[in-house]
Structure 1
């Protein structure tokens, strides 16, 4: 498994978000945003948890290089409070297992909160790498769904779900 750590998003991470705002990275999530949209997103990430803000983190290699973002945020899905998860990796670092390692780290963060049973991810059905991340991180595929992202645009997504209660009980029962 690739070695990464996640660090809370902070003011100095705007340039990373701009580097992630490329067609290659955002091809399955509506394409690149305007710089104004990127700045607004960055400001939400910096504000941290709250309405429309999530728990966002940078993905950091052992040598300190920041290579992506990962996070989770509260939402309602089919009448139930859940977390949604998302991630992005700079192109030069894709295919190395970094996203899977970061998603596992953020699952642990979400599970530790103890306030929701389920976390979901909704990668496009046309995005094999992100679907593989879900599978490798331990999510269960529930099937295809229409998902609104970006706001105002429906996309065909896979609905992947992970049981945070099982994750909590598994990680809490491991010896130190």
Structure 2
């Protein structure tokens, strides 16, 4: 299994987005984005990172410092609870090597270190076997199926995978 490192998203990481925008990579995400949409996504990743609202990374291996994909997590609200949501993309030539699983495990540990939320959720489509397998291998717990929309206007059925970062606070129970 390849060594994986997460590098914070940078201004020159647009090429990572372009490589991940191939039709076979976007099957479960509504299809490829326009160049304009990719540029907007790049700016959003940089802005959210500066504002502390998201943590986006380029996935690198020793053999491929240019990156083999991306992963990140960001603030969201799920069932009226503030949580992190995570998502990732691993280029086809590097799939099936455990890179996605290792990247997710590293991102979950980063989220635990950063704090601020009690859990991280992933919402892969129910028919995306590879992403669902990554969630399971990374130690996430399947909470059930939910209706989701991605991209906006595109309804999809997803699995809700959860990873607990911190135990819930103890209420009462004093001595």
Would you say same fold, with TM above 0.5? yes
- Alpha-carbon distance between aligned partners in 2 of 1:33 and 1:137, rounded to the nearest angstrom: 28
Per-residue deviation, 1:3:
1.2
- Please name the residue that 1:142 is paired with: 143
Structure 2 unpaired stretches of 5+: 168-175
SS, match of residue 92 in structure 1: helix
SS, match of residue 49 in structure 1: helix
- Please name the residue that 1:55 is paired with: 55
Query: 1:39-118 to 2 correspondence within 5 Å?
Result: 39-49=39-49, 54-63=54-63, 64-118=65-119
- Please name the residue that 1:30 is paired with: 30
- Please name the residue that 2:153 is paired with: 152
SS, match of residue 76 in structure 2: strand
The CA RMSD measured in Å over matched residues stands at: 1.6
SS, match of residue 126 in structure 1: coil
Number of residue pairs aligned between Structure 1 and Structure 2: 166
Task: Say which one has the larger Rg.
Answer: 2
Per-residue deviation, 1:149:
0.9
Structure 1 unpaired stretches of 5+: 167-176
- Alpha-carbon distance between aligned partners in 2 of 1:144 and 1:128, rounded to the nearest angstrom: 14
When the two structures are superposed, what TM-score results if normalisation uses the length of structure 2?
0.90
When the two structures are superposed, what TM-score results if normalisation uses the length of structure 1?
0.89
